[in-house]
Structure 1
Amino acid sequence: MSYPFLKGHGTENDFVLLPDHDGSVHGDLDPARVRALCDRRAGIGGDGVLRVVRRDGLWFMDYRNSDGSLSEMCGNGIRVFGRYLVDEGLVDPAEPLEVDTRDGVKVLTFDGDLVTVDMGTPKVLGETEVSVPGRTWTATHVDVGNPHAVAFVDDLAEAGPLLEAPTHDEAVYPDGVNVEFVVRRGAAHVAMRVHERGSGETRSCGTGACAVMVAAAEVDAASRDTAYRVDVPGGTLSIAWTADDRILMTGPAVLVARGTTDL
C-alpha cells in the first residue's frame, strides 16, 4: 500500500511526517516500519517519525524515535508538526495552536518562520552521573516531558566519542535518557551536543536544549524570563524560563519534501 509522507526538520533534527488525520491509514505504527522509514540509506531518512492524527478535538503528535520506540515529547518535532498544519491550511497561524502529545497538551504560536512552544514546567531532579569508558561526569537530571542528563564539559570538539554510547544510572533512568554535553559561550549563551535515546547523536534536540537552559540557569542563578541562546550543530534555539515557571522554546521549522512511499 502506498501512502503520503513529508520530510521536515527543526535545526536539522529531521523527521518523516505521516498524515493520518482520522487514524485509518497507519493505526499503531509497527516499530519495524518506523525503522525502515528512518533508514538513511534504504528509506527516507530521519531521526524519528511524526504521525499526524486528529483525536478528541485536538491534533495529536504520535512521535516515534528512529529505532521504533515511543517518546513522550519532541521539541523540534512539534514545531515541524505545527508547520505542517499551517502550511496545509489546517490551522490559522494567527491563533495559538494546541497540540496533544504523550506529555500532555502543548501550545504553539507562530511568527513567520519561527515557532514558539510552551513546553510546560520543568522538573529539576538533582545530580546524577553519565559515563563513558574511563570517565564519569556529574550531570543535572532535568525532566521536560522526557528525561535528560546535562553535563558541562571543557570542549565540545572532544564530545564525539562521548556521544557514541554514554551510560547512565538505570535505576534513575529505567527507560533510558537523553545525554547533553554543554560548554559556555558567553552570558546566557551555551552550546551543546546530544545523544538521544533511540536515535543516537542528532543535529539538535529541542527538549534537550530546554533541559540545558534550565541546568545553566540554575547554576547561573539567572533571573526568570532571561532568554538563553542555545547553539546546536544544526542551528540555534532561544529558550526562556518564565516567571510563571514555564519553558518557552523558539526556533525554526521547515518542510523540505513530500511524496508517496510503500515502505
Structure 2
Amino acid sequence: MTSFPFLKGHGTENDFVLLPDPDGTVHGELAPGLVARLCDRRAGLGADGVLRVVRASSYDDPAAVAARGRAEWFMDYRNADGSTSEMCGNGIRLFARYLVEHEGVDPSRAVPIGTRAGVLTVTFDEAGAATVDMGRPRVLGETKVSVGPSAWPATHVSMGNPHAVAFVESLDDAGPLLEPPGHDEAVYPHGVNVEFVVRHGPRHVAMRVHERGSGETRSCGTGACAVMVASAIADGVGRNTSYRVDVPGGTLHVTWTDEDHVLLTGPAVLVASGNWLVTDDVPVRT
C-alpha cells in the first residue's frame, strides 16, 4: 500500500478526517500514531478527530458487534491524540453526510449508525440540515472544574461521553484552554469534556469547550447537548424545550423531548478528498 483515500469535513468548524474502509481491510485496528499524524495541523491534514467508515459486520470492536442487525455502518471515532471516544455529535452528522453522498444511503429515511455509545439515528431535512437523536442524557450531579487559580461549580452530564458544564460570567473567564481544565479525577477517571457557558437570552446560550484528547475545539456536538440539558435544568424549564447554542464555529439547535431524548441539529459539510501517502514511520494499523 502506497496510499489510501481520505475526505475532510466539518460540523460548525469541528473538523474531521474521514477514512473510508467499508470492509475493514485498509486499516484493521487504527494505529494511534496514524490518527495523531492525520490530525496534526502542521505535519498532517489537520483535524479534531478521525472517523473511520466501516461496516459493523467487518469490525470486531464489541460496540460494532453489538450494532449488527440494527445498523449497517459503524463510526470508529478517534480523538486527535489517537485515543478512542464513545461519541461525537458533530462527527456523526458528517459521517451520515458521507454515507448519503458516497455510499448510496437514502437521505429521506432515518440513517442508523453504530457507535461506542450505541446505535443512533440521523435524519436530514429538505434544506440538508442533519439531526441526530443523541438518546437519553444522564444528569449525574454536581462537580467542579478549574483553570489556573479560578474554579467553578459544574454539572456532570453524560451524553454517552462525560461532560462538566460550568456557567461563567464571561467566556473570557476561562482564559486560554491550552491544557485540560482541572477536574475531579475520582468523578472522571478517563478525562472529561469541559464546557464553559454564558447566557445570551431566553433559551439562548454560548459556550467554549475543551475536549479530552483534542484540546479546545471550535464546536462539540455532545457538549452542546450537555450544555442544553444543564441550562434547561438551571432555568427550570426541563423537557419539551429547544435551545440555541452558539459555538465559536457557528450555531447548533438542541431539543430535549418529552420522551427524554436529546436531538441535535446542525450543518455537516464535506470540503475535500484526496489520498494520504503512506510512510514507513507511521504504520497504517496496529
Same fold (TM over 0.5): yes
Please tell me the residue identity of whatever aligns with 2:6: F
Please tell me the residue identity of whatever aligns with 1:237: L
Match of 1:119 in 2: 134
Distance 1:151 1:198, change over 3 A: same
Given that 1:230 and 1:238 are in contact with CA atoms closer than 8 Å, whether structure 2 keeps it comes out as yes
Whole-angstrom distance in 2 between the partners of 1:15 and 1:223: 32
Please tell me the residue identity of whatever aligns with 2:129: L
Aligned pairs for 1:80-91 within 5 A: 80-91=94-105
Please tell me the residue identity of whatever aligns with 2:124: F
Distance 1:162 1:50, change over 3 A: closer
State the SS of the aligned residue for 1:92: coil
Structure 2 runs not aligned, ≥5 long = 57-67, 279-286
Match of 1:101 in 2: 115
Whole-angstrom distance in 1 between the partners of 2:90 and 2:37: 21
Structure 1 runs not aligned, ≥5 long = none
Please tell me the residue identity of whatever aligns with 2:199: R
Say yes or no: does 1:25 pair with 2:40: no
State the SS of the aligned residue for 1:4: strand
Whole-angstrom distance in 1 between the partners of 2:166 and 2:179: 15
Q: 1:163: Cα distance to partner?
A: 5.7
Q: 1:87: Cα distance to partner?
A: 1.0
Say yes or no: does 1:41 pair with 2:42: yes
Given that 1:188 and 1:227 are in contact with CA atoms closer than 8 Å, whether structure 2 keeps it comes out as yes
Which of 106, 110, 127 matches 1:92? 106
Deviation digits for residues 162-190 of structure 1, max 9, x if unmatched? 56331111110000000000000000000
Match of 2:281 in 1: none
Given that 1:86 and 1:92 are in contact with CA atoms closer than 8 Å, whether structure 2 keeps it comes out as yes
TM-align CA RMSD: 1.1
Distance 1:23 1:89, change over 3 A: closer
Given that 1:163 and 1:194 are in contact with CA atoms closer than 8 Å, whether structure 2 keeps it comes out as no
Whole-angstrom distance in 2 between the partners of 1:172 and 1:198: 17
Say yes or no: does 1:78 pair with 2:92: yes
Aligned pairs for 1:164-179 within 5 A: 164-179=179-194
Given that 1:210 and 1:247 are in contact with CA atoms closer than 8 Å, whether structure 2 keeps it comes out as yes
State the SS of the aligned residue for 1:93: coil
Given that 2:253 and 2:264 are in contact with CA atoms closer than 8 Å, whether structure 1 keeps it comes out as yes
Match of 2:211 in 1: 196
Say yes or no: does 1:250 pair with 2:265: yes
Identity among equivalent pairs (%)? 70
Q: 1:89: Cα distance to partner?
A: 4.4
Given that 2:180 and 2:212 are in contact with CA atoms closer than 8 Å, whether structure 1 keeps it comes out as no
Please tell me the residue identity of whatever aligns with 2:116: R
Aligned length: 263
Q: 1:225: Cα distance to partner?
A: 2.0
TM-score (norm 1): 0.98
Aligned pairs for 1:213-252 within 5 A: 213-252=228-267
Deviation digits for residues 68-117 of structure 1, max 9, x if unmatched? 00000000000000000111142000000000000000011001321000
Match of 1:6 in 2: 7
Whole-angstrom distance in 1 between the partners of 2:105 and 2:237: 36
Whole-angstrom distance in 2 between the partners of 1:75 and 1:11: 11
TM-score (norm 2): 0.90
Q: 1:39: Cα distance to partner?
A: 0.5
Please tell me the residue identity of whatever aligns with 1:38: C
Match of 2:282 in 1: none
Please tell me the residue identity of whatever aligns with 1:176: G
The structure carrying a bigger strand percent of its residues is 1
Please tell me the residue identity of whatever aligns with 2:160: G
Q: Which moved more, 1:9-18 or 1:161-170?
A: 161-170
Q: Which moved more, 1:190-199 or 1:132-141?
A: 132-141
Which of 59, 62, 69 matches 2:76? 62
